Structure 1
Amino acid sequence: MKSSSPYRIFIVEDDPWYGEVLKYHLSLNPDYELYRFLTGEECLKQISRITPHLITIDYSLPDTNGAELFRRIREQLPDTPVIVVSGQQDVETAVNLLQAGVHDYFVKDDRTKDLLWNAILKIRENQSLRQEIDHLQDALGQKYNFSSTIIGNSPAIHKVFTLIEKAVRTNINVSVTGETGTGKELVAKSIHYHSERKKKPFVAVNMAAIPHELIESELFGHEKGAFTGALNRKIGRFEEANKGTLFLDEIAEMDLTLQTKLLRVLQERELVRVGGCEKITLDIRLVVASHKNLLDEVKKGRFREDLYYRLMGLPIALPALRERPSDIMVLAHHLLEEFCRDNRLATPVISPSASEKLLRYGFPGNVRELKALMQMAAVMCDGSEIRADDLFLTVDTENTVTETEGQTLRHYMVQIIKSYLKKYDNNVVLVADKLDIGKSTIYKMIQTNELSLA
C-alpha cells in the first residue's frame, strides 16, 4: 500500500536502458516516487520544483561529471544524500567523491540494483531516526519553555525571563545564583533548549556530588592506564558536551587546584585527558550555578578571581520564593495539577485555610519544598479539598525555623515515599517510577532505617 507521503528519488542516468532498469527495480517499493533524468541540468532544474529525498547520479554525463553535479546539488540541497552509480572503476575517483560527502559509490554490475536497494533502505531508516531526534529535541524545547515551566507573574520572575531571552541569542557563558530549590538547572535547560545548540548535548554535573579525587577525571576524562583502576579510556563531561551546553552546578565547591585547570581549559578552549597528550578542541557553552555568592567566595580566598570573571558572563539571580509571594498560589495550583495528572488523581481544591497557611510560610526550600508539600497534600487529603491540616510544615508560620530545618525536604520525601509504598504494596520499582526517583534512593533509605517495608 502506497504511503500518503511518497519518498521521492531522482535517478540521473544518461543510458536510457539502464536508467529504466533502476527505475523499474526501485518502483517495486510502492512508497517510492521516482523521477528519471538524462542530464545533470534536467535534474537541477527539477530540484527547484520538486524536493527529492535522495538522488542517484551517474558519474559520466553528457553535460557534466559526477563531482561537479554533486557540488551543485550540495549548494541547493546540503542535507540530501547522493549515491553515485557509475561505470567508472577508478578507485581515486570513488575515494574523492566519498571524501566530498557522497553517501555511497557503486560500480555498475549485476549486484548494483540490490546494493542500491539496500543502501536506500538504510538511508531512509537513518533519516527517520534523525527526524525522530529532531522531534524529541523540539519536544524538549517545549518542555523547557521558560514561560510555561518557570511559573510566575511577579516582576522578579519577568526579569529572569528577560535575562534568559538575552542569553539565548548568544553563546555567552551564564552564571546562575539562587538558594537551593529555586530552579537553577531548569534555567540552564531552558537556555540550552532555546539556543542554536538545542540539537547538541546538554550535560549537567553537580560538583558537590563527585568525590574530590575523581573530579578531574570526571570533567576532563582519562586515558587507559592513567592511574590505578583506569582500565579503559573515559570520555569526560567536557567532551560529552562538545558543541552543546555544559552545566556545572555548585561550582563554588570546586577546590583551588581544579579551578586552575578549569581556567586553563576555558582560556585555551581545549583539554588533554588525564594521562594523555592529545589536545581536544572544545566548542561548548558553559552555564554555572551556585547557592553561594561567588564574589564573597573570591574575597574569602576560596575562589579564583580570574576564574570568577571568566565564568560570570551573564549573571542571572533567581529570587527566593518568599521574595515573590504573589507567585506562591500560582505555583501551588500548577504543581498540584501536574502531580495529580501524572498520577491519575482527581485534583483537589486548595481551601482558604490552606492557602492562608501557604502564604504565611517562609519556604526555606523554595519551589522544591512547595512541590513536595503539594505532592504530600494531594496524597494525604481526604475528599476533594486540601485543608490546612494536610500541609505538614516543619517551620512555623512566622518564618522562624525550628531545629528540624536541616531535615525539611528529607522529611517530606520520606513521608511521600512511605505513603506510596503503602499504596503500591511495597513495590519499590513501581514507586520509584511513579515519583521519578532512583530505586537506589529508596533502598538506601530502607538500609538506614528511614523507611520500612513492614
Structure 2
Amino acid sequence: MHNIPFKIFILDDDVWYSELLEYHLSLNPDYALKKFHSAKECLAQLHERPNVLTLDYSLPDKNGAEVLKKIKEQSPDTQVVVISGQEDVATAVDLLKKGAYDYIVKDEDTPERLWNTVNKIRENVSLREEIDQLKEEIGQKYDFGKVIIGNSDAIKRVFSMMNKASKTNITVSITGETGTGKELVAKAIHYNGPKKKSPYVAVNVAAIPRELIESELFGHEKGAFTGAVSRRLGKFEEANKGTIFLDEIGELDINLQAKLLRVLQEKEITRVGGNTIVPVDARIIVATHKNLIEEVKKGNFREDLYYRLLGLPVHLPPLRERGSDILVIAKHFMAAFAKENGLGKKSFSPQAQEKLLSYSYPGNVRELKALVELAVVLADDEIIHEHDINFTASQPEKDFFSKERTLKEYTTEIVQRFLDKYDHNVLYVADKLDIGKSTIYRMIQNNELISK
C-alpha cells in the first residue's frame, strides 16, 4: 500500500492520444495523472515533482531533446518515457544517453508497453523508498547515545568529536584499545553524516593476508594472478560515493602504504593487473589500536600517509578510565540480555556493583558484556550477587601449568587464548607474542587453532 500518490504527467499535443494514454493508465487507481499539451505548460508545473513524465518527441513549441534536458535540470528524479511517431534508432539512443528511461514508438501496442514501463518504474521507486527507510532505521540504530553508553566526561568528549565528524566528510582517525567499540563509532559517524544513504564498507586490514590485501582494496582484472578467473571490484569501488572504514590501518604493509596514499591524493585506483584508471570518491575512516606516531618513528608507517589520515581524531578511552560508566553499561547489557532470553528484570547487589567497579577490564566493553551475560545466567533470582560475577572466566586459569604437556601443546593453547582475547586479529597477536604471523596462519591451516 502506498499513501503517497504516484504522479504521472502526460505531455502530448495530440488531445485524443493524450486522453487515450490517460484512460489506459487510470486503470490503476494509485496513479495521479495530469495532461499537458505544450512544453511550456508542463515545465511550469514541474515543481510538483512527478514520478513519471511521458514525453511526445514532436511538440509544436520545443523538440523532445530540449524538453528532456529541462526536465532533468528541474526535476532530476522524474523518469521520462519518450513516445515518438518515428522509429529512429539514433535518436532513441541519444535520448537514452541523455537520461530518458525508455523510448517507445507510437503504434497499437504503445499503451500496453507504457503500462509495463510505468509499472517497472513504480517497482523501482518503491524499492528505493524501502531502502531509504531501512537506511533511516539504521541511522536511528546508530544514534550516538545508543552506540556508546555512558555519561563520563571522557565519553562526552567522544560524543562531541563524533558530532563534529558527522557534519562533514572529513577523514576520521579512531584510536583506542581492542574492545572499545571503534567500528561502532565509525558506523555511527557514517549513518549520521551526509553520506548515510550511500554504501558503508568495512575492511579489517589485519585479517587479510599480505598477498591479498592489494586485490581486496583495489580489485583485480581477470588473469591478474593465479585464481583470478574474473574481474573483481575492490573495496574502494564498492564504497564509491559512500564511506570506507579501514580497521587496524597500522597493520598495512609499508609497500602498500604508498599506493593507498596515491589513492587518497588522486581519488582514483587501478585494479591489479589492469591499466584502466577508475575514479573513486569515498569518505575515509580509519582505526587502530597502535600509536601511529611511534610507528612512524620506527619506520613502520609512512609519515606523509599518517598526516593524510589523521583528519579529525577520535580517541576511545579504555573502560577502566570511564568510572561509573561501567555500571551504566553493565545495567544496559543485563537488561538487554534478560529481556532477550525472557529471564525477567534483574538488578545488581551493592557488593556486585563494587566488584564490577574494582576490575580493570583488559578486554574493555566486549569483556564486560560477556561477564554480565554470564552473571545473568548464574544468578539464582532477580538479584545478581558478587559471587555471580566471574572474572576468571575470561582470564587464563591459575592452574595452567598443573597439567604436564608438550611445548607444542602449551604454545598452541597460548596462541589460541590470545586469538580469542584479541578478536582473532592475527597480526596483533603475532606482535604481542613476538612470533611470525606465518606461524599462526600455518597453525590455523593445520587445524591446530580455531579462527573465525
**2:277 counterpart of 1:270:** no
| Contact 2:57 2:82 (C-alpha < 8 Å) held by counterparts | yes
Q: CA deviation at 1:395?
A: 8.9
Residues 3-43 of structure 1, C-alpha deviation per residue, up to 9 Å, x if partnerless?
Answer: 65432211111111111111111122222222222222332
**2:193 counterpart of 1:195:** yes
Q: CA deviation at 1:392?
A: 1.1
* Correspondence for 1:425: none
Instruction: Give the distance between the partners of 2:236 and 2:46, measured in 1 at CA.
Output: 41
Compare 315-324 and 8-17 and name the one that shifted more. Answer: 8-17
* Correspondence for 1:339: 337
| Contact 1:394 1:408 (C-alpha < 8 Å) held by counterparts | no
Q: 1:343 to 1:81 in 2, by over 3 A?
A: farther
**2:31 counterpart of 1:32:** yes
* Correspondence for 2:14: 15
| Contact 1:365 1:409 (C-alpha < 8 Å) held by counterparts | no
Instruction: Give the distance between the partners of 1:411 and 1:71, measured in 2 at CA.
Output: 59
Q: CA deviation at 1:131?
A: 0.6
Instruction: Give the distance between the partners of 2:227 and 2:193, measured in 1 at CA.
Output: 39
Give 3-state SS (helix, strand or coil) of 1:10's partner.
Answer: strand
Q: CA deviation at 1:109?
A: 0.4
Give 3-state SS (helix, strand or coil) of 2:125's partner.
Answer: helix
| Contact 1:221 1:237 (C-alpha < 8 Å) held by counterparts | yes
Instruction: Give the distance between the partners of 1:80 and 1:178, measured in 2 at CA.
Output: 46
* Correspondence for 1:426: none
* Correspondence for 1:322: 320
Q: 1:360 to 1:285 in 2, by over 3 A?
A: same
Q: CA deviation at 1:410?
A: 4.2
**2:101 counterpart of 1:76:** no
Give 3-state SS (helix, strand or coil) of 2:275's partner.
Answer: coil
Q: 1:4 to 1:208 in 2, by over 3 A?
A: closer
- Matched ranges for 1:359-398 at <5 A: 359-394=357-392
Q: CA deviation at 1:176?
A: 0.8
Instruction: Give the distance between the partners of 1:40 and 1:110, measured in 2 at CA.
Output: 25
Residues 287-329 of structure 1, C-alpha deviation per residue, up to 9 Å, x if partnerless?
Answer: 1111111111111222121221111111111111111112111
Instruction: Give the distance between the partners of 1:340 and 1:110, measured in 2 at CA.
Output: 65
| Contact 1:372 1:412 (C-alpha < 8 Å) held by counterparts | no
Compare 109-118 and 79-88 and name the one that shifted more. Answer: 79-88
| Contact 1:220 1:239 (C-alpha < 8 Å) held by counterparts | yes
**2:42 counterpart of 1:43:** yes
* Correspondence for 1:129: 127
Give 3-state SS (helix, strand or coil) of 1:361's partner.
Answer: coil
Give 3-state SS (helix, strand or coil) of 1:329's partner.
Answer: helix
Instruction: Give the distance between the partners of 1:319 and 1:401, measured in 2 at CA.
Output: 28
Instruction: Give the distance between the partners of 1:366 and 1:113, measured in 2 at CA.
Output: 64
Residues 315-350 of structure 1, C-alpha deviation per residue, up to 9 Å, x if partnerless?
Answer: 111111111112111111112222233334423112
* Correspondence for 1:427: none
Q: CA deviation at 1:97?
A: 1.7
Q: CA deviation at 1:380?
A: 2.4
Instruction: Give the distance between the partners of 2:100 and 2:6, measured in 1 at CA.
Output: 19
Q: CA deviation at 1:246?
A: 1.2
Instruction: Give the distance between the partners of 1:213 and 1:238, measured in 2 at CA.
Output: 18
* Correspondence for 1:292: 290
Q: CA deviation at 1:147?
A: 2.4
Instruction: Give the distance between the partners of 2:196 and 2:207, measured in 1 at CA.
Output: 26
* Correspondence for 2:235: 237
* Correspondence for 2:214: 216
* Correspondence for 1:141: 139
| Contact 2:363 2:421 (C-alpha < 8 Å) held by counterparts | no
| Contact 2:147 2:185 (C-alpha < 8 Å) held by counterparts | no
**2:97 counterpart of 1:119:** no
Q: CA deviation at 1:358?
A: 0.5
Give 3-state SS (helix, strand or coil) of 1:325's partner.
Answer: coil
Instruction: Give the distance between the partners of 2:96 and 2:309, measured in 1 at CA.
Output: 42
Q: CA deviation at 1:226?
A: 1.3
The aligned amino acid for 2:17 is: Y
Q: 1:252 to 1:9 in 2, by over 3 A?
A: same
Q: 1:164 to 1:257 in 2, by over 3 A?
A: same
Q: CA deviation at 1:56?
A: 0.9
Instruction: Give the distance between the partners of 2:449 and 2:150, measured in 1 at CA.
Output: 38
**2:112 counterpart of 1:109:** no
| Contact 2:178 2:422 (C-alpha < 8 Å) held by counterparts | no
State the number of aligned residues: 414
Give 3-state SS (helix, strand or coil) of 1:60's partner.
Answer: coil
Residues 224-281 of structure 1, C-alpha deviation per residue, up to 9 Å, x if partnerless?
Answer: 1111222222211122112111111111112212222222322332221111111111
Q: 1:400 to 1:275 in 2, by over 3 A?
A: closer
The aligned amino acid for 1:351 is: S
Instruction: Give the distance between the partners of 1:93 and 1:233, measured in 2 at CA.
Output: 33
Instruction: Give the distance between the partners of 2:399 and 2:43, measured in 1 at CA.
Output: 76
Instruction: Give the distance between the partners of 1:36 and 1:5, measured in 2 at CA.
Output: 19
Seq. identity, %: 58
Q: 1:449 to 1:275 in 2, by over 3 A?
A: closer
Q: 1:392 to 1:264 in 2, by over 3 A?
A: same
* Correspondence for 1:204: 202
> Please, what is the CA RMSD of the aligned residues?
2.7
Per the normalisation by structure 2, the TM-score is 0.85
Instruction: Give the distance between the partners of 1:261 and 1:97, measured in 2 at CA.
Output: 40
Give 3-state SS (helix, strand or coil) of 1:213's partner.
Answer: coil
| Contact 1:201 1:242 (C-alpha < 8 Å) held by counterparts | yes
Compare 65-74 and 218-227 and name the one that shifted more. Answer: 65-74
| Contact 1:10 1:56 (C-alpha < 8 Å) held by counterparts | yes
| Contact 2:49 2:78 (C-alpha < 8 Å) held by counterparts | no
| Contact 1:176 1:316 (C-alpha < 8 Å) held by counterparts | yes
Give 3-state SS (helix, strand or coil) of 2:185's partner.
Answer: helix
2:51 to 50, 53, 61: 53
Give 3-state SS (helix, strand or coil) of 2:9's partner.
Answer: strand
Instruction: Give the distance between the partners of 1:45 and 1:259, measured in 2 at CA.
Output: 54
The aligned amino acid for 1:238 is: F
Residues 42-99 of structure 1, C-alpha deviation per residue, up to 9 Å, x if partnerless?
Answer: 3233334x44221112112233222222233233321011111121333333222211
Q: 1:411 to 1:227 in 2, by over 3 A?
A: closer
1:309 to 301, 307, 310: 307
Where in structure 1 are there 5+ consecutive unaligned residues?
414-443
Compare 119-128 and 311-320 and name the one that shifted more. Answer: 311-320
